[in-house]
Structure 1
């Protein structure tokens, strides 16, 4: 296992642990999806459209990046 594997694995574990903690907490608004909605203003039409375009673009890029490298 490389250092990069360990770093990415640790980061993933931290995010998952935090999400589990927040899901168990009664305070709303703390999960990653709730924060992304607030940060990107997806409750508005322009925010929703920009998020959809950005997410689609990122997904296509990532798919091509992984399959063609």
Structure 2
């Protein structure tokens, strides 16, 4: 296993661990999905459009990047 694999694996595990912690926590607004909703202000029409366009562009790029 390379150092890059270990680093990315550690980051992924830390992210999952923190998400599990926030799900068990009684405080609202600290999960990844709640933070993304707040950052992009998806409760507004422009925020929803910006998030949809950004997510779609990222998904298309990432699919092409991985498969192509």
Q: Normalising by the residue count of structure 2, what TM-score does the alignment of the two structures yield? A: 0.97
- Work out the CA distance in 2 between the residues paired with 1:19 and 1:66: 25
- Give the secondary structure class of the aligned counterpart of 1:37: helix
Which consecutive unaligned segments of at least 5 residues does structure 1 have? none
- Work out the CA distance in 2 between the residues paired with 1:39 and 1:45: 14
Which consecutive unaligned segments of at least 5 residues does structure 2 have? none
Counterpart of 2:10 in structure 1 is 10
Q: Normalising by the residue count of structure 1, what TM-score does the alignment of the two structures yield? A: 0.96
Q: How far did 1:67 drift?
A: 0.8
| CA RMSD, 1 decimal | 0.5
Where does structure 1 differ by over 2 angstroms across 4 or more consecutive aligned residues? none
